Structure 1
Amino acid sequence: MKRKEFKSLLFGALYLIVFVVWTLLIQIVDVQPVGQNGTDIGFATINCYFHKLTGVHMVIYTITDWLGLVPIFICLIFAGIGLTQLIQRKSLFRVDYDIIVLGIYYIIVIFGYLIFEMIPINYRPVLIDGFMEASYPSSTTLLVLSVMPTLWFQAKRRMKNEVVLKNHVFQEGLCQSI
């Protein structure tokens, strides 16, 4: 395995471990019944402080809710690419390997999304349309962090125009920020 690939895999594993540890901590540390209807909230002191500091802004909630559709649209684009290749090439084995792996990855992400929607770990401090809504992990954040990096890798792999690929902003600006 190349050094860069190993480093990426190591960082991915590290982030997964941090996510698991944080998820366990939110279930244990400073859990108080301060949510709507007396719901237990992890890290209650800091969550309540931040909620009082920022307040509720339903416009921002609505915007982020709609922006959550962007990664779903990206998934549908790659599903369309895979379906087109399957129809044209008449065999699943002739579909690009990376598209098949991407499809499997997106299915895993969808299962993760559904699991965290069905098993809420922490709740929002306010009712949304009269219901308690899970806030951790954020479904929008989960989708964006899982899908958008794959868009970058696929765009880089599939772009034919060398001028665009060699563009300073694309190569250095975007690559350094990821």
Structure 2
Amino acid sequence: MPYTAGRPEPTPSSEELRARIPGWGADLDPKDRPAVPRERFDPDASGAHWDFPERQEEKWPRERSVEHKLLPPVFGTSCPPKGLSGAMRKFAYRKYSEGRAAHWLILIAADRVDAGESHLRSFLTLHPDNPVTETGVLSEFSRHGISSRFGKKRTDLSHQWIDPVIIGAPWALAAGAAGAAAAILWRRRRV
């Protein structure tokens, strides 16, 4: 109802609505409502056939916050902690509570370390990561990436200058390290 200077019209009564709208108020009588038995409030009737649910088996010691006494009955097992990132995650859960910023900062750093470990692990496979195609660099030239940055109010323009450093620096450092290792091996071979 729009706001007007005059007083609003009073809400119609149930009888007026029933006379004007066919079928209005058909569910006012609880006996006519199909969901009424389910709407009864009974806190003791949970429908569960157990007092405490059967627990999922732990295949390795799980990370658990210091605030919680037990793990939940069911938990995810798709990404077991591994490598340095797994050690960082275990440390964050063992040392700090979830209410501390250090807990979350360590977990964020562990995610970045895990990404680096995954990139390094990909070099041991037949299909290593390709930074040119997988980072979307080519779309900057083929999908109006550069022209979309000018004259627009995009929020990512404030950190645009550092994006190449964040994306490219690890690859440049890895290439430099590989080049340095190759140079050392070449010198040793010549001697």
Q: Which has the larger radius of gyration?
A: 2
Higher RCO structure, 1 or 2 (CA under 8 Å, sep 6+): 1
The TM-score with structure 2 as length reference comes to 0.26
Give the TM-score normalised by the residue count of structure 1: 0.28
Larger helix share, 1 or 2: 1
